[in-house]
Amino acid sequence: ALHESRARSLESVGAKVAHEIKNPLAAIAGLVQLLARGKHDDKTLERLRVIESEVGRIESVVRDYLAFSRPLEVVTVASTPLAGIADDVLALLDARAHKRGVTLRREGDGVADADAQRLKEALLNVIDNAVDASPSGAEVLVRASVADGVAGFVVTDHGSGIAADVLARVGTPYFTTKPSGTGLGIVLARAVLQQHGGRLDIESDPRRGTVVTLTWPATPAARESEAP
């Protein structure tokens, strides 16, 4: 009990520190971007770009930590079109995918009870990983569906896949194969699905790519029937 109490205290302190760091970082990033617009020699411009890149990296870590540490019991569930959630996420990632030469596509639809904002966060992390794993010219497909009381998204990529030993560790906090990753994306996504009474499953083949399935009971009645 003492260990759990201390762990909760440390999480609270960590979240407060991350929140306090976030605003100064935003100010630094803004000032660096402003400086970079001026006239400078090539060496100074390169240094400013490095500063901007590293500040962005720190901001990403802080953002992921805050999302991870946010209390998961705070949920606002409403009847939500799944196509709208998927399309919003794809719009956010469109520029990044285009830069990598990856096409994003959505199929399917359906309406289910969900916290739209939380599911967007979960789906964003999953599709972002799929874009990272995809080679230029590949497609990332997102299928939305509601059937037999179960709502879900299936995200399919044709990237390099995940080796079995690595797949066993995916979803462990701070485990990542990305040079600038935090390892919290899938942890957060899985927590959001569990919060909805659902689950997140990953199947991967290094020769074919990866399929991530996010499912949850589509209605309160379905959740009650699935409750242990």
Express each pLDDT in 59-72 by its tens digit.
777 776 666 666 55
Flag whether the pTM goes above 0.75. no
Per-residue pLDDT of 141-196, as tens digits, reads 999 999 999 999 999 988 876 656 565 556 555 445 555 555 567 778 888 888 88
End-to-end Cα separation, the chain, in angstroms: 26
pLDDT of residue 108: 94
Determine the average pLDDT of the residues in 111-140.
Answer: 90
pLDDT of residue 34: 83
In the predicted structure, residue 214 carries a pLDDT above the cut 90: yes
Determine the average pLDDT of the residues in 34-53.
Answer: 84
The proportion of the chain whose per-residue pLDDT surpasses 90, expressed as a percent, equals 27
User: How many other CB atoms are there within 10 angstroms of residue 92's CB atom?
Assistant: 14
Average pLDDT taken over every residue of the chain: 80
The position carrying tokens 């964003």 is 124
The position carrying tokens 């946010």 is 70
Per-residue pLDDT of 1-26, as tens digits, reads 777 776 666 666 666 677 677 778 87
Determine the average pLDDT of the residues in 88-108.
Answer: 91
Look at 203 and 111; give whichever has higher pLDDT: 111
Measured at the alpha carbon of residue 141, what is the angle toward residues 137 and 144, in degrees to the nearest 5? 170
CA gap 173, 151 in Å, rounded:
26
pLDDT of residue 73: 53
Label residue 180 exposed, middle or buried (CB < 10 Å: 0-12, 13-18, 19+). Answer: exposed
Q: What are phi and psi of 59, to 5 degrees?
A: -60, -40
> Per-residue confidence at 105, pLDDT binned at 50, 70, 90?
very high
Per-residue pLDDT of 80-90, as tens digits, reads 999 999 999 99
pLDDT of residue 221: 54
